[in-house]
Each structure stands twice: as C-alpha cells, then as structure tokens.
Amino acid sequence: MNVQLPDVAAAPPAEQSAQNARLPRSRLIRKFVLLFIALIGGALLVSGALELWFSYQENKTALARVQQEKALAAAARIDDFIDEITRQIGWTTRALRSSASLEQRRLEYLRLLSQAPAITEVSHLDATGREDLRVSRLAVDVVGSGADFAAEPKFSEPKPGKPWFSPVYFRRESEPYMTVAIAGSGRGSGVTVAEVNLKFIWDVISAIRVGESGYAYVVDSHGWLIAHPDIGLVLRRTDFSSLPQVAAALPAPTQADSDAAVVGEDAADRKSVV
Amino acid sequence: MRRIISFLVVFACGLSWLAIETQAEQKTSLLGVLWPVSESPELEAFRDGLRELGYVEGQNVTIEYRFAKGNDALLPDLAADLVRQNVDVIVTWGVTAAKVAVQATKTIPVVNGSMSDPVRAKLVESLARPKGNLTGLTSSTPQLSAKRVELMKEAVPGLSRLAVLATPNPTARLGLEETRAAAGALGVAVQVEEVDDASDLEGAFERMAQSKAEGLIVLADMLFIQNRDRLVGLTAHHGLPAISWAREFVEAGGLMSYAPSFTDQFRRAAGYVDKILKGANPADLPIERASKFELAINLEAAKALGLEIPPALLARADEVIE
C-alpha cells in the first residue's frame, strides 16, 4: 500500500522558506513514528511467537503424558486380563489335591474352560512331566497320552506360587497365544498348563482411543504385533520391531511384553501407544 | 469490477465444493444380504453390529434382503439380482452361498460371517491374504465334528451306533470325514443318511430307527436350520438324542449343539463391512477364525428322552435350557 505523504515539491513557491523550516521536523516525527511502530510491532511479534512455541511444547508434553497414561492403563488392563486368568487357573489347581482322581481333575478343568473363554486348552503334567490329561474346546479330550514334556520349560519353570508365562506364539499361523503353567501346591502334584488365546485382549485394546485418530496396540517382546484395532495387521503377523518407538520400548528380551509405555507415531502418521 | 467478479466466482466454487462434500458424507450405502435361510438371530446380530458402528438402516444404509429359505438352488438367481442392483457389499453366510456370490461377481466385495473352510473350497488364496473379493470369518465347523462325537458319547453312555445326517454340500462332506475318523477312534459305528431336501427327512429317520442308532449327529447344512422344527419333531418322535452344529436346533427343542457363536461372528462381520465401505480392499482384509465356542444343552429334551446329563457335560455347557 502507498502511504500518501504531503507533496512537498508541489507547494507554492511563496511558502517555500516557511516549508523548508518545518521540513526537518516533520521528517523527524515521521522517522520517529515509524521506528516506534517497528519496535512495538517487533516486540509483539517476538513475544507472540515465543508464546506460541511454548504453548505448542506444553501441548505436546501434555499430549505425550496423556498417551503415556493411556498406554499404562492399557498395560494395566492387559495385566489384569492375564492376572485374572492366572488366578482362575490357580483356583483350579488349589481345588485339586495331588490325590485327586483324573475324573475329578477333568471336571475342574471343564469348569475352568467354561469360566475363562480365552483358555482354549488345559492339560496336566504329572510329577515326572508326562501328560496325563488334556481338555480342549476344539479337539477330543485325551486321558493318559503319556507325552513327555519333562524337558520343556512349561514343566521345569513353574514353581509353587510362581507361574510361568511362555513367550507369545502364533497358532495356525494367525492367532496369538500364550502358555500359562502353574505348579500344583502339594508335592508331586504336577503342573497345570493352559493355552490362552490372546485374541481376547483385542476387545480391551480396540476400546482404547487417544484423541481423534490415536489408538493403542500391543507388541510382544520381539516386536510382533499381538493386538491392534486393525486386527488384520495381527492376523497377517506384522513385525513392528523396526518402528523407533517400539524398538525403544523393547528392553531386554526377557521382560514381559506389556510393561512399557512409549509414545510415537506409526507409519500412517497417527499417534500410537505401545 | 473485475475483482468483484473474480471474487464471486471463487466464492461460488467454494460453496459448490462444500455442497458436494456434505452430500458425499450423507451418501447412503447399499448392502445386499444373500441369506441361505429365513430371517434369523445371526442377521439381527449383524444389524446390531452395524448400529454399534453408526449405521442406521433407512438413514445412512439401505439393506436389500434376499432369502433362500434353505433352498440352495435359489441362491444363484438371488445373487445375480443383488449384482444387478449394484450393491456396495454382499453379506452372506456359509461356504455354499460364498461360492455362489463370488461366481456372481468378481468386483463387488463379499463379506461372509461364517464359512467352513474357504481355502480348501478354493475361494480364497489364504486366510491372511484372501486376494479376491471375498473376506469375513471362518466357522471351524467341520473341525468340531470330532468334539461333537465325543459330547454325544458322553451324553449317551455306552453309545455304539451313531447316525449321521448329511447333505452333499462340501462342508457336510468335510464334517463327515472328521466324524468318521473320530467315531472310529472312539469305537463307535457310523451310519450315514444323506438327504437332498427336507422331504427326505422322514425316510432317513425311519432307516435310522430300523438300524437301531442310539445317537444322531446333524452335519452343517442350512437345510437343517431352515427345517429345525421338523427335525426336532422327528428326533423326539424316534427318541433319538441328537447334537447339531447350530444353536437354533436346541432353541427349537433339540438336545444339544456345539458350535462357534454365529451371532458373535456376524456382529464382527459388520466391522468388515464398515472397513470396506470406508475404502478397504477385501483382498487385504484377513479372514478371522472363530474363537468363541458354545455348548448348548436342552434339559427338557434330555428329560423327554430319559437321559441323565452327566455333571462333566453340564460343567462344559455355556447355555442350559431348562
């Protein structure tokens, strides 16, 4: 925009001298005003920009905190899910003395299956690590198969009061599973082994929303996706270990999968929580 | 003046773009339901699933229903009709209807809430990547056949002769193989009665009675859902304890059923439809396996048959109808 200034050159010659006397002062005022505007404007601009930057940073940390809390809440809920199942298996093993007959044991295992829909199969290993009972939702129940599991961690690892959790594995290529093994309380009472279908934590995970496009997902200790609102990614066995936030969240390979909470953005640029 | 005109032009463009945008958002989707039986709880569960995702029938979604009412021969014409209507997605149930649907169209996405084994039926390449226009959930129904034999043996102590009600459909064929293997392992003789339609049922039951079958397994065919009342009547008339692949059988007064929860599966199927309407390609949507299984027992039917249901079976039951 052009600022219309008084046209000095066009002034009539008669007033020339008087004009000349006033000229430096008006120029000075003009300069002064311009400088003043520039200074104040500049200061306002800088402070505004600073404020904007600070509030952006603040929002970012607040958002990160919210996401972290959501992630921790998700982890807590998954922990609850696993705890609940472990508790249910615990009750079943406690209800059975080491002298319990196979028929009694089978009845208790069937009750366990009807209480915990996520458990697909329960089996019992005797004191020597041989399977004497297997109850399943899908296959025919087996009594006394005698299969030897003595050398496997599901028999050697669980101690009384200290259940053993297997790494997540995939059954029939697409379904994430975990083995939970609990030792019986009495001497020689063997081990109860349950195969848990982790698809059941999907409902927990899908319900977690962060803002408009945020969501939660869960990976195992190797970075394999086990729960995600887009179940298709899980069924296709997606490896998330290359995502930086996942890599950062994956500590020593022995640690449980659900304890870390990290905030990051996934490939689709949506905020995500691990 | 020129400025004013150009401003008006830009303004008008903006307005029309906005109008198109809002229209696109209010666009109603057209779904085609190719249903092998009559209206059923599974269909209701599907609509529930749609509602949970924000689709209201008559508002932002219109559903065209085509019911085959247990007659598979009607399916091709019904499917062709839906294709002519140019529906956005076809929703269906069972591997037979799935086959008909993908024969009718290679472009319209087909979502199946429960089919036995689409890989074996050569309908999809793999469960993880179907690669065609068919996706949805599997039922694992034939794989549960062995479990049904076991449950039957538990309900009828000393069971030695088992009748199997089958049809020529591939799911029933697959189930028959599994049933034979399981019965052989449990030392039970098998007598197969294959029927083509409901009019064969009486004759089949006469033959079962003649050969003194002590239990009956009903294999997977929509015919047996559509004609459940007749089936239940025949089992009661001949005093034959039976286990079916569909819960509807027990609700109609039959003794037992063991199956995935089809209502749960069709609620999930709505999620597939939602994804496809939002632009997902069915070829990339993995087929989900059944994970919730239900044993239903009708104690009234047990009483009428003079059967004492053992505690192990009751402990296992997810639903007991008294």
A22 pLDDT band, cuts 50/70/90, is low
Using CB atoms, pick whichever of A110, A174, A235 lies closest to residue B315.
A110
Which of B196, B264, B209 is closest to B242 using CA atoms? B209
A236/B128 touch (CB, cutoff 8 Å), yes or no? yes
CA atoms within 13 A on the CB side of B61: 20
DSSP per-residue codes, B36-73: SSSS-HHHHHHHHHHHHTT--BTTTEEEEEEE-TT-GG
Q: Report whether pLDDT(B20) > 90.
A: no
What local confidence, expressed as pLDDT, does residue B291 receive?
84
Using a pLDDT cut of 90, give the percent of chain A over it: 22
Residues of chain A neighbouring B143 (CB-CB closer than 8 A)? 138
Is B291 in contact with A138 (Cβ distance < 8 A)? no
Using CA coordinates, name the residue in chain A closest to B261.
A117
Min Cα distance A226 → chain B (Å) is 14
Mean pLDDT, residues A2-24? 54
A104 to chain B: closest CA residue: B312
* Burial letters A113-149, b for 16+ CB under 10 A, else e: beebbbbbbbbbbbeebbbbbbbbbebbbeeeeeeeb
Find the mean pLDDT for residues B141-160: 90
Dihedral of alpha carbons A239, A244, A249, A252, sign: positive
pLDDT of residue A218: 75
CB B139 within 8 Å of CB B259: yes
CA distance B51 to B40: 17
Q: What integer pLDDT is reported at residue A23 of this predicted model?
A: 63
pLDDT at B301 exceeding the cut of 80: yes
Q: Residue B292: pLDDT above 50?
A: yes
Distance of residue B154 Cα from the nearest chain A Cα, in angstroms: 11
pLDDT digits (tens, 9 = 90+) for B39-95: 999 999 999 999 999 999 989 999 999 999 988 999 999 999 999 999 999 999 999
Instruction: Assess whether pLDDT exceeds 50 at residue A246.
Output: yes
B285, B292, B312 ranked by CB distance to A117: nearest: B292
Q: Supply the pLDDT for residue A95.
A: 81
What angle, 0 to 180 degrees and rounded to 10, lies between the N-to-C axes of helices B170-185 and B145-155?
50
Structure tokens given for A262: 């990290």
Distance to chain A for B128, nearest Cα, Å:
5
Task: Give the residue-averaged pLDDT of A171-199.
Answer: 84
Q: Which long-range contacts (CB under 8 A, 24 or more apart) does B274-281 make?
A: B274/B50, B274/B53, B274/B55, B276/B88, B276/B89, B276/B109, B276/B111, B277/B29, B277/B88, B277/B89
Per residue in A85-114, pLDDT tens? Answer: 999 999 888 888 767 788 889 999 999 998
B150/A140 Cβ within 8 A = yes
Closest to B120 (Cα-Cα) out of B144, B95, B97 = B95
A177 contact residues in B (CB cutoff 8 A): none
Whether residues B143 and A138 touch (CB distance < 8 A) is answered with: yes
Token match 């059941």: residue?
A200
ipTM: 0.76
SS3 B275: helix
Query: Which residues in chain A have Cβ-Cβ distances shorter than 8 Å to B311?
Result: 107
Q: How confident is the model at residue B26 (pLDDT cuts 50, 70, 90)?
A: low
Write the pLDDT tens digit of every residue in B188-236.
999 999 999 899 999 999 999 999 999 999 999 999 999 999 999 999 9
> Given a cut of 60, is residue A233 above it in pLDDT?
yes
Q: In the prediction, which pLDDT does B274 show?
A: 94
The reply to whether A107 touches chain B by the CB within 8 Å rule is yes
